[in-house]
Homo-oligomer: A and B are copies of this chain.
Amino acid sequence: MALLVNKSRQFLYQPFTLKPPQILALLFLILIIVGAVLLKLPIAHEKTISWIDAFFIATSASTVTGLVTVDPGTTFTLFGEIVILFLIQVGGLGVMSFASLIVIMLGKKISIKQRMLMQEALNQPSLGGVIRLVRNLFLFSISIQIIAISVLSIRWVPDMGLSKGIYYSVFHVISAYNNAGFSLWSDGLIRYVGDPTVNLVITWLIITGGIGFTVLIDLWVSKTWKELTLHSKVMIISTFVINILAILLVYLFEFNNPKTLGMLSGGEKLWAAYFQGISPRTAGFNSIDMTAIQPDTALLMTLLMFVGAGSASTGGGIKLTTFVVILFTVLTFIKGKDETVVLKRTIRNAIIFRALAITMISLMVVFIALFILTYVQKGDSFMVILFEVVSAFGTVGLSMGLSPHLMLISKIVIMAVMIFGKLGPLTLLFSLAAPKKDNIRYPDGEVLTG
């Protein structure tokens, strides 16, 4: 088994002398180029599509973002849509498994203690389990998706007929599990705003795909709450807390907005707030009109989009644990304490440092993009531009209406931000995961950030 790991590491390190994140970036660029070329083929689209839009859609699909400069449902043929679906599945699952792989492989490079923590984080009996891990990830993901497709089909086949009902179920399940947010309806899921089945299935997929594979393994292996790693506990609690808070705030902010929740019945209001509270981190589906939301809702969603989902998940953003670590560190400073303590475990300085670094670098990328877009998109309001840029960074895909009239330069910038949003934090995690100078203290808890 150790031999197998060495072989796989040799494969990754030697032929190109590239580091894993560089290989990932290279594979990703190839995926985008292949996708764009396929989407540009005459059989892929019903309306004509420019090269820049083909690249934009390919980038958006591969990074599982969901921002679209053209309406996928009416622009592409079935073939084009399947290309998009393929890009989503490969981009989403591919990065997720690569991230899980990197987390384990790091165990070989760094200290014994950290390796133990990595193993603990994954609850893997040995490092030889790399291949098995990726296999499990795929098996698990496909199983989840098949179950969800079955349930959604039961809902949609009676409405749309057998083939269309199943096809729409397949498309939206893959899109939701990978947190891609692509929809075949140009107005998203607005027509199902009050539908319990659609709401529950989609949000369940979003959360499962977005919580991170290490957490899912941990949940599978552990028998009690106490057996879970700190990372899993933090992810589960913070996912719960942030979702509840977001749902309440969306409900409060939009309750009287006649263009969103205001026009809905009491039950629909709850479902809409439920859905739009969960979706911005980082699924990007919408069941209300995003161009009509209030400024405070827009600001809330901007924060949620920036925070994002879990490490080693299909989601983006700085990651929820990164946010939690920063939040607790700030509270620690304010209270005048020395050590950041989360769930009775001390968070090492190296982890805090990494969280702060990932956040700062992400902020800088967002800021540079904002700068270019405010310069280029002169007629558009700052809020709408900010929303679009953070949506791209968090690979969310929600838009307050800017995407269709992005200028050429803006499209290129948004594409770059989407790619950074997908690969940047992971690359930083890789390069920051093994700090050279670090005081070893006990007892410490491992929390993944980035």
Interface residues of chain A, those whose CB is within 8 Å of chain B, are 253, 294-296, 298-300, 303, 326, 329-330, 333-334, 336, 338, 349, 352-353, 356-357, 359-361, 363-364, 367, 370-371, 374-375, 378, 381-383, 386, 428, 431-432, 436-437, 439
A146 to B336, CA, bound (A): 42
B359–A360 touching, CB < 8 Å:
yes
Query: Could you tell me the distance between the alpha carbons of A329 and B333 in the complex, rounded to whole angstroms?
Result: 21
Chain B residues with Cβ below 8 Å from A432 are 333
A356 interface neighbour in B357, B386, B437, Cβ under 8 Å: B357
B439 and A439: CB pair below 8 A? yes
Question: Shortest CB–CB separation between residue A139 and chain B, in angstroms?
Answer: 35
A359 CA to B357 CA, complexed, in Å: 11
Q: Give which listed residue, B326, B338, B383, contacts A382 with CB less than 8 A.
A: B383
Majority DSSP secondary structure for residues of A touching B = helix
27 contacting pairs across A/B (C-beta < 8 A): A253-B375, A294-B378, A295-B374, A295-B378, A296-B375, A298-B382, A299-B371, A329-B357, A329-B360, A330-B357, A330-B360, A330-B361, A330-B364, A333-B357, A333-B361, A333-B431, A333-B432, A336-B431, A338-B436, A338-B437, A349-B349, A349-B437, A353-B356, A356-B356, A381-B381, A382-B382, A382-B386
Q: Which residues of B contact A356 (CB under 8 A)?
A: 353, 356-357, 360
Q: Which residue of B lies closest to A358 (CB)?
A: B333
Measured between C-beta atoms, what is the minimum distance from A360 to chain B in Å? 6
Residue of B nearest to A295 (CB): B374
Contact of A370 among B253, B299, B333 (CB under 8 A): B299
Chain B residue nearest to A435 in the complex (CB): B338
Specify which of A296, A329, A338, A383 lies most central, judged by the most chain B CB atoms within 10 Å of its CB: A296
Given A299-B382, A353-B353, A333 and B428 touching (CB < 8 A)? yes
Contacts of A382 in B (CB 8 A): 295, 298-299, 381-383, 386
Question: How far does the Cβ of A176 sit from chain B's closest Cβ, in whole Å?
Answer: 29
Residue of B nearest to A326 (CB): B360
Contacts of A437 in B (CB 8 A): 338, 349, 439
Closest to A338 in B: B436
CA gap between A268 and B349 in the complex, in Å: 51
A378 to B299, CA, bound (A): 13
CB distance from A9 to the nearest CB of B (A): 19
A367 to B375 Cα, complex, angstroms: 24
Residue of B nearest to A329 (CB): B357
Q: Which residues of B contact A386 (CB under 8 A)?
A: 382
Cα–Cα distance between A360 and B336 once the two chains are bound (Å): 16
Report, nearest first, the 9 A-B pairs whose CB atoms are least far apart. Answer: A382-B383, A356-B356, A295-B374, A296-B375, A296-B374, A299-B374, A330-B361, A338-B436, A382-B382
Distance A55 CA – B296 CA, assembled complex (angstroms): 27
List the B residue with the shortest CB-CB distance to A384: B382
A371 touching B300, Cβ below 8 Å: yes
Q: How far is the CB of A370 from chain B (nearest CB, A)?
A: 6
Using Cβ atoms and an 8 Å threshold, which residues of chain B touch A298?
A: 374, 382
Contacts of A294 in B (CB 8 A): 378
- Least CB distance, A375 to chain B, in whole angstroms: 4
Residues from chain B with a CB closer than 8 A to the CB of A364 are: 330
Tell me the minimal C-beta distance from A322 to chain B in angstroms: 11
Interface centre among A299, A367, A382 (most CB of B within 10 A): A382
Docked pose: A300 CA to B367 CA in angstroms = 10
Interfacial chain B residues near A439, Cβ < 8 Å? 437, 439
A436 surroundings in chain B (CB, below 8 A): 338
Complex: A383 Cα to B367 Cα, angstroms: 14
Residues of B within 8 A of A374 (CB): 295-296, 298-299
